[in-house]
Amino acid sequence: MTTETLTNYWVAVGQVEDIPRQGARVVATPMGDVALFRTLRDEVFALDDRCPHKGGPLSAGIVHGRSVTCPLHNWVIDLASGEALAPDRGCVRRIPVRIEHGGVLLDLSGRRRS
């Protein structure tokens, strides 16, 4: 039952193992790239692959704790909230993500509407 509901909104994009630990992978969507991050403790987060500062590809940054550092100018973005770490200010859009049996599912519906 749950699965049926999910297939309506959630898109399977790959396995957690396909994302390197402390690393990222990119999902190309018609609306732009989504960065998938996997932390040391195997939490998975999804954000727009654009830093709120100058649009740098966050997926290319160093992942540490629950943060990623943008490769262009070292802004540190909180993966859970999408917020830039003080003193920098800005927010990246989060994409809902869930893990089912090791698979990564993204809810891209929000992106489509926007």
Residues near other proteins, by CB under 8 A: 12-15, 18-29, 35-36, 39-41, 54-57, 59-65, 67, 69, 71-72, 74, 76
> Are 51 and 68 a contacting pair, CB within 8 Å?
no
> Are 8 and 107 a contacting pair, CB within 8 Å?
no
Q: How far is the CB of 1 from other proteins (least distance, A)?
A: 25
- Pick 73 or 89: Cβ nearer other proteins: 73
Q: How far is the CB of 8 from other proteins (least distance, A)?
A: 18
Count of CA atoms in the C-beta half-sphere (13 A) of 54 = 6
